[in-house]
Chain A
Amino acid sequence: MDLSSPYLGFNLKNPFVAGASPLADNLDSVRRLEDAGAAAIVMRSLFVEQIIHQQTGYSAYVESVEESYAEATTYFPEVEDFALGPDQYLAHIQKVKQAVDVPVIASINGSETGDWFQYARMMEEAGADALELNLYFLGADPEISGSAMEDRLIKVVAGIRDRTRIPVAVKLSPYYSSLAHFARSLDALRVNGLVLFNRFYQPDIDIENLEVTPTLKLSSSEELLLRLRWIAILYGKVDADLALSGGVHGAMDAVKGTMAGASCIQVVSALLREGPDTLKRYITELQHWLEEFEYESLEEMRGNMSHMRSGDAEAIERTNYMKIIQSWKTS
């Protein structure tokens, strides 16, 4: 049974990839992921804002109180190897690379142009086999139009793409006015993959204390459908490989994703909830299903349920929509 999948130039031994998560922080769990069958490992995202925040915080809280009083011109020892940049992340890439044989995909999260683009090259030099760029943003500024926002993000992707030779995948959110057009714009920048979709951690409201509280909920199967739909739409419209991320909670989800056109099935929440060995079960179940339905490889089914192979996308979408609406009315 051939489970291999082409993704970012790698011939993955199966479509399951451990998506960006804290699981990659620990070398033991990284090894367990590989042992469980993960075809590649995406590292936890390096948040550009966080680095900048740390750096400016250091300046604000440590340096601003220096040189004010004769007895204490400083308050901390000068540590030479003290690094507020991405050094630790880079060092961790090296360790993860040494720990496993599967491709290691570094991940970086940023949506503003800036000097952090150089991190891409640094990650490459640290040994990352590929890079996943997470374009996480919230279009909350009423002064910035959708197209202006997209232009900015395209510049970010271009900036990263220009600075590294390793494959680059871009992780997207579903909130674009014309996602297909935007995806194609990215395609034109020679990105190697599109990861659909990242998840917004939505804040809750504390009604007693009048506070906004951050929440983190693991994904559920319901989230899969949106991903399937957009992979199905984009398959064949872009050269980039497509990765499904979010809502995968079983081998059948992988089958659906592959049929929609995905080359890579990223799993995170299930691994966090049930542990790395979950992947073993998924792979076995996938094999059994393929055997049962007499598929010899994933390639046979890849994209067979995409819109490209099912006619006019918009018309299908519209038809599906009407069907659903009507079904609600009649139920």
Chain B
Amino acid sequence: MIKAADTPVKATVDGNEAVAKVAYQFSEVVAIYPITPSSPMAELADEWASKGQENLWGSVPTVYEMQSEGGAAGALHGALSAGALSTTFTASQGLLLMIPNMYKIAGELTPFVMHVSARALATHALSIFGDHSDVMACRQTGFAMLASGSVQEAHDMAGIAHGATLPTRIPFLHFFDGFRTSHEVNTIEVLDQAVLDKLVDPEALTAFRKSGMTPDAPNVRGTAQNPDTFFQAREAANHFYDRCGDKVQEAMDILGEATGRQYHLFDYVGDPEAEEVVVVMGSGAETVVETAKYLNTQGRKVGVIIVRLYRPFYTERFIEALPKTVKRIAVLDRTKEAGSLGEPLYLDVVGAIDSACSQNPDTFAVRPQIIGGRYGLGSKEFNPGMAKAVFDELQADTPKPRFTVGILDDVSGLSLAYEHELDIEADDVFRALFFGLGSDGTVGANKNTIKIIGTETEYQAQAYFVYDSKKSGGMTISHLRFGPDTVHAPYLVQNAKFVGCHQFSFLDKFPVLDAAAKGAVLLLNSPYEGEDTWNHLSEETLGVIREKELKCYIIDAYKVARAAGMGGRINTIMQTCFFAISGILDKDEAIAKIKDTIQKTYGKKGEAIVQKNFAAVDQALSGLHELPLPGAAVKGVELIPLIPEHAPEFVREVIAPMLEQRGDGLPVSAMPLDGRWPSDTAKWEKRNIAQEIPIWDPSCCTQCMKCVTVCPHATIRGKFFDPEELEKAPEDFQSVDFKDRNLKGKKFTIQVAPEDCTGCSLCVQVCPAKNRKEPKFKAINMKPHKDFKDVEAENWDFFLNLPNPDKKDLDMKIKSVQFRQPYFEFNGACQGCGETPYVKLLTQLFGDRLLIANATGCSSIYGGNLPTTPYTCDSNGRGPAWSNSLFEDNAEFGLGIRLGVEKRKEIAESIITRHADALDKELIEEIIAAPQVTDEDIELQRERVERLKSLVTQIPDARDAERLGSLIDHLVEKSVWIMGGDGWAYDIGFGGLDHVLASGKNINVLVLDTEVYSNTGGQQSKSTPIGAVAKFAAGGKAIGKKDLGLIASEYGHVYVAKVSMGYRDSQVVQAMVEAASYPGPSLVIAYSHCIAHGYSLTHGIDQQKLAVNSGYWPIYRFDPRNVEEGKPAFHLDSPKPRASVSEYMANEGRFKMLHLSNPERAKQLAKMAQRMVDERYVHYKALSTPPTNGETPAS
């Protein structure tokens, strides 16, 4: 008998870590590909392997990152075939890509476990959040499916899955809810090695190892079978599935005996004579169980079946678990199968009950009525109020056979009404909410707080973090619970006893106090002295504070942080105040533990940081003050509506509540039917996140427009205009004479959008004009946002109404291009993003005829993550049409768009040709023959098409006339661009990209190359350079990046350009224009600095210059058209390297980290990097050398 240690080892970890801890122990090969929310499991495995941590059998698992989940599945199939115990971690689309191999792995009866943080599948929209639609798409693969509902369960079930797969020979898909479980931090009891050992069946392990492919005992697998035998062979393995459940139960029993946590294939909780039962799996089960217990105390005869082993589905076990008294059953599915009879679990339950009752009519006292409903899609909240609504529905006279819960469905009428604030939690659970900014460290501090409480006290801790939809600068909400018992509450905190508002402006902007309990503590980071704080809050907020009788404390945390040298990091200050006020721990003890945590966290990262944090802790309490409630005499400030009244209805009615964090309350009727969202909505979201904004000093401005060019968010713009336009200008609006020789007499201005600027200061950094009297000042300088916001907001409004220049007046020089309207503004990218200036430029060049196929990644998030959309329209209603299909298929998706666009144009041309006589023959000939390359060409064609529109009614065939009506605008050429990051172009989408480039079609590709998977958190791609530290390359990447441009150019017919906005913006324009004009495939690869490079992006432009000057990022253009002119296709735009690669590398954290952790290797890799650069330069130089003696030009 195995007994756990007397005192089980506790750990406060999230679900991903809880699972990875076990999976790692059981595995020898880990093949992965990053995908949210599973990536941390793979990252942890890689981290442990890089430290040499051994598995159960004393070997260090090989962790290998593949080019896609499909690739990972293939590699796993191979590793398993070779006899290596293997695992992987994935979710959502990634899981779908593994399905083909899952059939193979299962069909070959291969022991294997994959761990899935279950996530929504992209349908009408992408969602990174949790539901079961991905795992439900695998239930037919032959994998066993084991569900977990909590962090502890995920840890335990991981062990059970690994234990059961060997004797059953059935591969397991172990799943738990993405984010809700994968990212929830909870205190668990860690399975010790003795338990894990016992879970392994040694004979089955030996059998598996012996089954590995080897020429020493050869056999043949993967044969092709014919009609004579295939069917029989498929049926031959049935008994493995028949006995799987027993083996799983055995593993559950082993674990139960050792730990006291006894699981069954189906667990029943509730009244033994329940009449109403809910069937559910995943984290929702915890909520339903707690709700059922609560209802039991009120005398309700209800219960819950928790489904653990979903596949194979054992009807007998399921029926055994159900009370015989059950009369009504509600089955909850966290997925949607549109058009189906019902969702999968519901259908399984219906089938099971029918089967049991058909065989034995006395199975139940009465044959139960079964209803089914959907809940929690895309991490929609599922709380006790909603669970109770399901039980209540079972009591209704006529329960809805199909329902939803957690939303208001005012269209189909399926949704159940629920009590929003049903509180069933025990009084001894301390609940706290913290509202912070991503950059202020609030989440990190809270993670430390729960680790302190979870591991160093008798309390159990739980935490869950909700992030903003923006890449940075957004709000974070931390939901924390502490209690004497394990916290089973996988839903957001309600009735909080403590609310920490770490940003003063949040209090009026968001419903921060909605979840505060009466008499709760409010800790507010206030820049105001004492009771003056009240004078800066709205009457609405003050009213809530009074009504809820909140106990209020304030601290000027930023002031304390500045004094302690912590900049904007207020985390330890607020954390210290929390401990001081909450009384969870003795104050001195808490401070000692905070300091201990600081020492552990930062000890190796530097004493300076440790000391600053210590100083912040020490100074925090002296700045903490309790405030009496605001008196009746205090009159709050007037609240300015988040969205102005003149905004479009959709913005006011739908987007505004989402911006106010009240999107959960929107009904189904408010939603677009097919996911389409209006363009041009980012302008309504005034984020006001910058502490400082750039202010123009016209006196020394050279009017170079560099500031406009580099702005990642299109928040700084320039215009020239007639002086008369200034008549109604605001008093402080600045302008000077325009310096353009051809436009004498015009005025010029540079204007910032103060409420949209993120304060990255790239514009200031790039400004070449210095104030001669005080060179520390430039023609644009950062100034406090609060001092300039109001004035500049008025100026901005005026500026927007100044006329945009006619494109015909503008040449294609970079400066002129910057006067064009950007069709991409106020995106949610990180401060100083290196990608977005390229996207903006693309829209300035082709925005009114642009179609974009966008690969999933950063650009799809800042391009299409709701609530607002940054792609805009012009006064004609034209603008980029943008869509994201998937990550892996973007090139193909874009090609499809091209094919579709061409086809529509072709049909339109055929109709007008057919009816040329009835229309205007000359006009038709002109339309068909017209060149459509330049803006002027396009404008002329538009004019022709407008003339044609007036003639359409003359077409004698009414059907043709109607068809032409919907196609006619396609007679104007469209610019189709495929856009994405290096993870897409170099890795997962490379095959498709290659095919599209080979197609010869007139398609354009823009690769925003950050040399790392930025969106999922810095995993290496094949673009990651040698010597860089990235996830899965913790020891520094040992090989160089793929030369994607050179590979593409080898086709000979592909236009290729490598560009750097920071080095030569004019070359970027040149490349984009050439790419668009090239009548075949074009590939533009753009250097994009990124926060994953580990330095201040204020210096991004300088670093781009150094990248080119060192030869690290040579810029060139390969234009096949040159060959026809006898010139080399390859034109190197870079100078001969005039700096060393080491100089470039020394400035970035991604390279410096290796110098700090392994200097010898760093030097070696830097040396190799230099060699590669030198060799490449010689090669490129040769390619760009004109032919001599009649040789054929290089192509």
Answer whether residue A278 sits at the interface, using C-beta atoms and an 8 A cutoff. no
A74 to B569, CA, bound (A): 16
A101 to B468, CA, bound (A): 60
> Which residues 19-64 in B have Cβ within 8 Å of A in the complex?
36-37, 40, 43, 46-47, 50-51
> Which residues 1107-1159 in B have Cβ within 8 Å of A in the complex?
1149-1150, 1152-1153, 1156-1159
Stretch touching chain B among A81-89, A268-276, A316-324: A81-89
Closest residue of chain B to A119 (Cβ to Cβ) is B607
Answer whether residue A220 sits at the interface, using C-beta atoms and an 8 A cutoff. no
Cross-chain contact A69 with B770 (CB below 8 angstroms): no
Cross-chain contact B604 with A83 (CB below 8 angstroms): yes
A209 cross-chain contacts in B, Cβ below 8 A: 770
Q: How far in angstroms is the closest Cβ of chain B from A122?
A: 11
Answer whether residue B401 sits at the interface, using C-beta atoms and an 8 A cutoff. no
Answer whether residue B476 sits at the interface, using C-beta atoms and an 8 A cutoff. yes
Cross-chain contact B609 with A68 (CB below 8 angstroms): no
A26 to B830, CA, bound (A): 40
A60 to B612, CA, bound (A): 13
Given A72-B1017, A85-B606, A210-B772, the answer on whether A79 and B1157 have CB atoms closer than 8 Å is yes
Stretch touching chain B among A28-36, A51-59, A156-164, A286-294: A51-59
Cross-chain contact B468 with A59 (CB below 8 angstroms): no
Cross-chain contact A69 with B472 (CB below 8 angstroms): yes
Contact count band on A: 35 or more
Answer whether residue B441 sits at the interface, using C-beta atoms and an 8 A cutoff. yes
A51 cross-chain contacts in B, Cβ below 8 A: 606, 608
Q: How far in angstroms is the closest Cβ of chain A from B886?
A: 16
Answer whether residue B252 sits at the interface, using C-beta atoms and an 8 A cutoff. no
Q: How far in angstroms is the closest Cβ of chain A from B682?
A: 17
A293 to B1016, CA, bound (A): 76
> Which residues 243-265 in A have Cβ within 8 Å of B in the complex?
none
> Which residues 89-147 in A have Cβ within 8 Å of B in the complex?
114-116, 118
B609 cross-chain contacts in A, Cβ below 8 A: 55-56, 58-59
Cross-chain contact B468 with A69 (CB below 8 angstroms): yes
Closest residue of chain B to A56 (Cβ to Cβ) is B608
Q: How far in angstroms is the closest Cβ of chain B from A177?
A: 30
B1059 cross-chain contacts in A, Cβ below 8 A: none
Cross-chain contact B476 with A58 (CB below 8 angstroms): no
Answer whether residue B537 sits at the interface, using C-beta atoms and an 8 A cutoff. no
Q: How far in angstroms is the closest Cβ of chain B from A142?
A: 18
A61 to B568, CA, bound (A): 12
Given A68-B472, A77-B1030, the answer on whether A62 and B567 have CB atoms closer than 8 Å is no
Out of A82, A210, A211, name the residue touching B605 (CB < 8 Å): A82
Q: How far in angstroms is the closest Cβ of chain B from A99?
A: 15
Closest residue of chain B to A212 (Cβ to Cβ) is B775
Cross-chain contact A74 with B605 (CB below 8 angstroms): no
A114 cross-chain contacts in B, Cβ below 8 A: 611
B437 cross-chain contacts in A, Cβ below 8 A: 68
Given A71-B128, A83-B1156, the answer on whether A61 and B443 have CB atoms closer than 8 Å is no
A70 cross-chain contacts in B, Cβ below 8 A: 36-37, 128-129, 179, 183, 467
A82 cross-chain contacts in B, Cβ below 8 A: 604-605, 1153, 1156-1157
Given A76-B1149, A82-B1153, the answer on whether A67 and B443 have CB atoms closer than 8 Å is yes
Q: Which of A63, A67, A81, A88 has the most CB of B within 10 A?
A: A67
A73 to B1149, CA, bound (A): 17
B465 cross-chain contacts in A, Cβ below 8 A: 67
Closest residue of chain B to A52 (Cβ to Cβ) is B608
Answer whether residue A66 sits at the interface, using C-beta atoms and an 8 A cutoff. yes
Stretch touching chain A among B331-339, B746-754, B899-907, B1090-1098: B1090-1098
B1032 cross-chain contacts in A, Cβ below 8 A: 77
The proximity string for B residues 593-607 relative to A, scoring 1 for CB distances below 8 Å and 0 otherwise, is 000000000101111
Answer whether residue A80 sits at the interface, using C-beta atoms and an 8 A cutoff. yes
> Which residues 408-454 in B have Cβ within 8 Å of A in the complex?
437-439, 441-444, 447
Given A61-B1094, A79-B1153, A82-B1156, the answer on whether A71 and B1017 have CB atoms closer than 8 Å is yes
Given A59-B609, A69-B471, the answer on whether A83 and B1157 have CB atoms closer than 8 Å is yes
Out of A61, A81, A85, name the residue touching B1096 (CB < 8 Å): A61
A73 to B447, CA, bound (A): 12
Given A63-B444, A65-B439, A69-B467, the answer on whether A58 and B1091 have CB atoms closer than 8 Å is no
Cross-chain contact A60 with B567 (CB below 8 angstroms): yes
Out of B568, B605, B772, name the residue touching A58 (CB < 8 Å): B605
> Which residues 125-152 in B have Cβ within 8 Å of A in the complex?
128-129
B1091 cross-chain contacts in A, Cβ below 8 A: 61, 65, 75
Answer whether residue A284 sits at the interface, using C-beta atoms and an 8 A cutoff. no
Closest residue of chain A to B831 (Cβ to Cβ) is A65
Given A71-B128, A72-B1017, the answer on whether A58 and B606 have CB atoms closer than 8 Å is yes
Q: How far in angstroms is the closest Cβ of chain A from B589?
A: 24
List residues of A whose CB falls within 8 A of some B CB.
51-52, 54-85, 88, 114-116, 118, 209-211
* Apart from A56-B609, A77-B1034: 11 A-B pairs, beta carbons within 8 A: A52-B608, A54-B606, A63-B569, A69-B468, A71-B1015, A71-B1016, A72-B1017, A73-B40, A75-B1014, A79-B1153, A210-B770
Provide a sorted-by-A list of 6 A–B residue pairs whose CB atoms are within 8 angstroms.
A61-B1094, A68-B474, A69-B467, A71-B37, A76-B1153, A77-B1030
List residues of B whose CB falls within 8 A of some A CB.
36-37, 40, 43, 46-47, 50-51, 128-129, 179, 183, 437-439, 441-444, 447, 465, 467-468, 470-474, 476, 565, 567-569, 602, 604-609, 611-612, 770, 772, 775, 830, 861, 1014-1018, 1029-1034, 1091-1092, 1094-1096, 1149-1150, 1152-1153, 1156-1159
